[in-house]
Amino acid sequence: MFAWRLLLRECKTGDVLTLLVALVLSVATVTGIGLFVDRLQQSFEVQSANLLGADRSVRRDDPIPTEWINQAQSEGLETAQTASFSSMVFSDQGLQLAQLRAVSSNYPLRGEFLVDQQMFGTGVSTKDAPASGEIWLSSRLASLLGAGISDKVRVGEVSLLVTKFLVRDPGSATSAFAIAPRAVMNQEDLAATQIIIPGARVRYAFLYAGEVENLERFDNSLRPMLGEGERIRTPIERGERVGNTVNRAESFLLLAGTLAVVMSGVAMALASSRYVKRHLTQFAVMKTMGATPKKLSSLMAIQITAIVLFGIIIGSGLGLLVQALIADLLSSLMNAELPSPSWSKLWLGAATAIISTLAFCAPLLARLVSVPPLTVLQPAAALPMRSTSLLLFGLVGMYGLMIIYAGGWQLPSILMVGLAVVTALVFVVGWGMFALSRKLSKQSTTGWQVGLAALHRRLVSNLFQLLVFTLIIMLSLILIGVQSNLVRDWQAQVPENTPNHYLFNAQATQVEDIKQYTQENGLATSDWFPMVRGRVIKINGEDVEALYPNRRDEPEIAERELNLTWADQIGEGSALLEGDFSAQGISIEQQAAIEANVGIGDELTISIGGLEYTLPITSIRSVDWQSMQPNFYLILPKTVLSNYQANYVSSVFLDQTNAADFYRFMSNYPTVSMLNIGELLKQVQDIIAQLANALKIVLSFILGAGALVLVASVRSTLDERLQEGALLRTLGATKQIVRQALLVEFGALGLFAGVIGAAGAEMALVGLQHFVFEMEIAFHLSLWLIGPIAGWGIVTIIGVFASRAVLKVPPIRLLRSI
C-alpha cells in the first residue's frame, strides 16, 4: 500500500522518527510510572495485609458457617479462622484473666507472628501458628502466671505446653489499647477446653486471601450473606496507621505521572509542529500532482495510525523496562521485592498515545492536509498557524488526559489553573521583557546587543519557546517542592527517638517509681496521662441508641467504651482549632466531632462507673494520630475524672542498650502493661524510607524527561537560529559575537523561564499542599533560586551546545543544509 511505502521511506529520514520518539517517550513515561505506582500500591496493600493477617477478614459473634469456607475455597482462596475470647489461664503458681486467640494451623495467611524464647524479648518472625497442644503466652501473661518455656498451663479443661513468648500476632498490631495479657493457641484444642458454650462471648474472625479477581468475586457473593454489623475488612482500612503517609506518596506519584503526561504533551506538540513545518511544501507538491485533500487525509490517517500503533507497542515495552528498572533500583535500596505489575494498567499508555495524538498532533496535521497548493510558488501562501486555537486544543486534551490519569478532577484542575496563569504570565511578562530588550539593543554591534535584539525579532517563536521552557521548569520545581515537603514531613513524623513502647494500666504510685527510673536512666518518655473508661450515651440529651437505630451508623465515640483523660495543656502533636481548652467542658478531637455531627456548645452525656455526666463541648482539637503519643478523642475536666481511680498511660523510647534493663525493672510491676510497638514503628519507618526513595527515583526520572523536552524544544527552532547565525557569519560577524549573541538569547530565555516557572510552581504548590496533600502551606524560597539559576544554566548549555554548528561549520554549508 502506498501509505505504508511512503511511511517506510519517511522513516529512513528523521522527521517521522522524531514524532515516533516523542510518542514513545509519552507512552513509556506514562506506562513506566503508571505500572510502578501500581506496584507500589500493591506493595502497600501487601504490607497492610500483613497487619490484617489476610487479604480480607470478617468478624462476627457466631461461628463461621461452613458454607462460607467451602465457597471461598471453591473460588481458589485460602481461608483461616480465629476465635478470640477472654478466659482464666491457670498455672502451677497462679491464675490470670487473659485474652486468648485460637487460630487455625494456617493462620496467618499474610504477615507473621513475632515470638521469642526469652521473656520480654524483642522477637523473631515466624509464619507458623502454634501446633495443637501448644500455647504462646505474652511475656506479661507469663510473668503474671510465673510460667516459662516448657511449663504447662491450663485453659478450661485442656492443658497446653508453653513453647514461645508472644511478642506480636498480626491481628494485634493496630489495637494498642485493647491489649490485655494475651495468649495464642491452636483452634484444634478449642473444643477440648469446653469454654465455648452457648452464650459465651467469643469473637470469630473469618480470614481469606488469594488473587484479586477471586477475592472480588467472593466478596460479592459473601456480602449478601453477612449479618447486621458484619462487614468485610480490607487491608487498607486496617493499615490506617501508615495510611496518610502512603496516601500522600500515592498523590505525589500520581502528580508526577500527571506532570509526565503534560511534559509528554509538550514533547508531542513540539515534534508535530516540527513535522508540519518540514512537510508543508511536500504536501503542497503532492497536491500539484493531483493528490486530493481526501486522498491526503486518508494517507495521513493511515500513517498516523501506524505511528500510534508502533508508538504504543515500543513505548509500552520501554515503559515496562523503565518500571522494572525503577523497581529494581528500589528493591536493591530496600532489600524488598515489589509485586508484579498489573498488566491491565498498560491501557493508560495506549490512551495517552491516542489522546496526545488527537490533541497535539491531529490539529496540526489537519492543517498540513489543508495547505494550499499555491505554497509551491508562493511560500507566503502557507496557512498561518493559529497558535491560540492550537494551544487551547492542546490544553483541553491535556486536561482530559490528566483527569483520566489522576482519576479525579482536583489535581488536574489545580495544575490547569497553574498552567493557564503561567501561560498568561509568559505572554505578558515575556512580551514586556522582549520589548525592553529591543530598546536596549538599538545598535546591534556587540554580541550582547545582537542577542537581545534576537529576542524581540523572533517574538512569537521566542514567546512559545519561553512558554515551553517555563512549563518544564515549573513542573520540575513543583515536583522538587512537593518531594522535599513530603520527605521533611515524614521525617518529622517519626523522629529518631519516637517512643516505641506504650506503658499502661499504671497506678498513680507506680507512675512515680517508673518516672524516677526513666529520669535516672535518661529514657525519653512522653507525659503520663490518667485514663478512665467511660461511654458516651447521649448526644444533646438524646439516647445514642435512638439517634442511631442501626448500630453500623454509630459514630466512633458512641460505638464503644472510650479512654477518657484530663490535661492542663493541650499536649504535643495536638492543636486547638476552636473554643477554649481551659474551660470546664469537653475537648473533642476534630474528626470525632465531624463524625458525631457535634460542635462547640453541644452536650454529651457520658457514663463513667455507673454515673452520668452531661457536659458541653468547649473546644475542638486536631490530633496527630501518627505521633505515637497517647492520644484521646475526649478530654474531660479534672473535676469530673479525679473522683475515679485512674490508670496512667505513657510511652517510652527503648533501644538495644537499655531495653533488657527496663524490661527487668518493669517485671517488678507486673500489673503495668507494656506494648512493644517497635516492630510496627520500624514498619512505618521502612515504608517511609521506601517511599522517599521511590519519590527520589521518580523525580529524577521526570527531571530527565523534562531535560529531553527542553532539548527537543531548542531543536525545534534550531533551523531558524542556525540560519541567522550563518548569515551573521557571512556578513563578517566574528565567532565571538555569534557565540555571545547565542549565550545572551538562550541565557535570557532560560532566566525568564526560571523566574516565571518558580512563580508558577509556588502558586501551584499552595493549591497542591492545601487541597491534595492536606499539608500546612509553606513557601519555598529555594525554588526561587533553583528556578532561575537552573533555567539559565541548563537552557544556555543545551542551546549553545545544539547551535555549535554555527561556530564550527563554514556558513555556506550551513545555509545549504537548512
Residues of this chain that interact with other proteins (CB under 8 A) are: 2, 5-6, 9-10, 12-13, 15-16, 281-282, 285-295, 372-374, 376-378, 381, 817
Measured from the CB atom, the residue of 285 and 778 that comes closer to other proteins is: 285
Q: Which is nearer to other proteins, 288 or 516 (CB)?
A: 288
Distances in Å between the alpha carbon of 70 and those of 14, 64, 216, 487?
Answer: 62, 11, 16, 46
Nearer to other proteins, 5 or 439 (CB): 5
For other proteins, the closer CB: 299 or 593: 299
Nearest residue (CB) to other proteins, 86 versus 282:
282
Shortest distance (Å) from residue 255 CB to other proteins: 40
Distance CA 252, CA 262 (A): 15
Q: Which helix (H) or strand (E) holds 60?
A: strand 56-60
Minimum distance between the CB of residue 295 and other proteins, rounded to whole angstroms? 7
DSSP 6-46: HHHHHHTSHHHHHHHHHHHHHHHHHHHHHHHHHHHHHHHHH
Mark residue 349 as left, alpha or beta (left: phi above 0; alpha: psi -120 to 50; beta: remaining).
Answer: alpha
For residue 609, count other CB atoms closer than 10 A to its CB: 10
d(CA 402, CA 355): 11
Residue 818 Cβ vs other proteins, minimum distance, rounded to whole Å: 11
Alpha-carbon distance 164 to 185, whole Å?
A: 11
Q: Please, which residue, 148 or 373, has the CB nearer to other proteins?
A: 373
C-beta of 12 vs 808, nearer to other proteins: 12
Nearest to 101 by CA among 119, 84, 125: 84
Quickly tell me which residue has 500520581 as its cell: 254
**720 contacts: CB under 8 Å, gap ≥ 6:** 458, 461
Shortest distance, position 288 Cβ to other proteins, whole Å: 5
Residue 471 in 3-state DSSP? helix
Q: Give kind and range of the element (H or E) at residue 591.
A: helix 590-596
Minimum gap (Å) between residue 379 Cβ and other proteins: 9
Closest CB to other proteins among residues 287, 729: 287
Taking the complex as a whole, the smallest distance from the CB of residue 289 to other proteins amounts, in Å, to 4
Q: Which residue, 293 or 432, has its beta carbon nearer to other proteins?
A: 293
CA–CA dist 735, 743 (Å, integer): 12
The per-residue DSSP string of 731-756 comes to TT--HHHHHHHHHHHHHHHHHHHHHH
Q: Smallest distance, Å, CB 307 to other proteins?
A: 14
Residue 756 Cβ vs other proteins, minimum distance, rounded to whole Å:
33
Q: Min. distance of Cβ 326 from other proteins in angstroms?
A: 36
Least Å distance between CB 77 and other proteins? 58
Give whichever of 12 and 201 is closer to other proteins, judged by the CB atom: 12
Q: Residue 433 — left, alpha, or beta (φ > 0 → left; ψ -120 to 50 → alpha)?
A: alpha
Cα–Cα distance measured from residue 438 to residue 168, given in angstroms and rounded to the nearest whole number: 73
Query: How big is the CA angle at 808 (ends 806 and 809), to the nearest 5 degrees?
Result: 75
CA distance 596 to 578: 16
Phi, psi for residue 21 in degrees, rounded to 5 = -65, -45
- Smallest CA-to-CA distance from 663 within 511, 495, 503 is with 503
Nearer to other proteins, 11 or 46 (CB): 11
- Return the number of the residue (293 or 601) whose C-beta is nearest other proteins: 293
Residues 55 and 48: their CA atoms lie apart, in Å, by 9
Name 168's bridge partners.
114
Closest among 92, 114, 241 to 167, alpha carbons compared: 114
Q: Which of 470, 442, 456 is closest to 758 using CA atoms?
A: 470
494 close to 688: Cβ distance less than 8 angstroms: yes
Contacts 24+ apart (CB under 8 A), 689-692: 689/334, 690/43, 690/330, 690/334, 690/336, 691/40, 691/245, 691/246, 691/249, 691/486, 691/490, 692/486, 692/487, 692/490
In order of 329, 332, 573, 643, the CA distances from 335 in angstroms are 10, 5, 32, 53
Q: How far is CA 196 from the centre of its chain?
A: 45
The three-state secondary structure class of 208 is strand
CB nearer to other proteins: pick between 201 and 294: 294
Cβ-based nearer residue to other proteins, 1 or 546: 1
For the bound state, the minimum distance from the C-beta of residue 812 to other proteins, rounded and expressed in Å, comes to 13
Cell of 44: 502497600
Which of 735, 813 has the CB closer to other proteins? 813
Residues near 233 by Cβ (< 8 Å), separated by ≥ 6? 52, 56, 57, 58, 59
Nearer to other proteins, 5 or 201 (CB): 5
Shortest spacing between CB 730 and other proteins, in angstroms: 18
Shortest distance in whole angstroms from residue 378 CB to other proteins? 7
Selection from 206, 229, 227, 228 nearest residue 218 by Cα: 206
Q: Are 631 and 590 in contact (CB under 8 A)?
A: no
How does strand 232-233 pair with strand 56-60?
antiparallel
238 neighbors 52 (Cβ within 8 angstroms): yes
Query: Considering only CA atoms, which of 367, 383, 377 is closest in space to residue 293?
Result: 367
Nearer to other proteins by Cβ, of 289 and 731: the residue is 289
Q: Which is nearer to other proteins, 370 or 584 (CB)?
A: 370
